[in-house]
Amino acid sequence: MVVLFTDFGTKDSYVGQLHGVLHQAVAGLDIIDLLHQVPHFDIRSGAYLLPSFVNLFPVETVFVCIVDPGVGGVRRPLMLQVDGRWYVGPDNGLFRLLLRRASEAQIWEILWRPENLSASFHGRDLFAPVAGMLAMGKRPDCRPCKIDDTDHDDWPDDLARIIYIDHYGNAVTGLRAVNMDPGCPLVVGRNTLSSAQTFADVPMGAGFWYANANGLVEIAVNQGHAASQLGIELGEAVSLQKPKHGE
């Protein structure tokens, strides 16, 4: 199984080209389009979203992870094995949170290069073929390496910002719900929102926050578009409401 996680969107040919290369490598390969709407060029949002999905997939799954605004530059192409699953993608911080939360991880720099490597589409020309090799139980030419990721040392374990807005208008944060007090209101913009377990627990049109199915704190409006109705934007900060003096 190969799982695709990118910021390519689905209106253009990029995702289809990945499928084509992968099927050339392995006939009948199972390919899952997990997410192609990672916010464009937003490596940090991708880094916080990725760990929330991976445990849905069995060990030996191969993830192709591409949010790569520096394609063609000096960043290294990486191959990782993290808690039994494989990942290929750029060395630009995208795997930062995945590695920080891992129990076991090994990292390699990919040395293999295809005969024809475009300057601007390493997802198709480099990462997809490597994923195909891994899916067949093969390893491309590589060398062990470490990630000196000091550029992202200021990324907290939980990110109190909006990292994704889905087509329903629900706004996903980089906060893990397990670390939240359900009784604590969440503040975003001019809105102070209480928590609920699910949509049916609040009146139609009411806003709230909840622990979504992937373990992240999400802001929603029951049968409404939270981003529009509450004026929430991608990247916007969220905070916990401080208790009043004496509470």
**pLDDT level of residue 95 (50, 70, 90 thresholds):** very high
pLDDT in tens, 224-238: 999 999 999 999 999
Token duo for residue 139: 């390893």
Query: Where along the chain do the CATH 3.40.50.10790 domains lie?
Result: 2-152
How high is the pLDDT of residue 47?
98
The reply to whether CATH 3.40.50.10790 applies to domain 2-152 is: yes
Query: Where along the chain do the CATH 2.40.30.90 domains lie?
Result: 159-240
As a whole number, mean pLDDT of residues 83-100 equals: 97
- In the chain, beta strands by DSSP E: 2-6, 31-35, 62-66, 77-82, 85-90, 105-110, 142-144, 159-165, 171-176, 186-188, 191-193, 207-211, 216-221, 238-240
Alpha-carbon span 102 to 239, nearest angstrom:
27
**159-240: CATH homologous superfamily?**
Bacterial fluorinating enzyme like (2.40.30.90)
Q: What is the pTM of this model?
A: 0.94
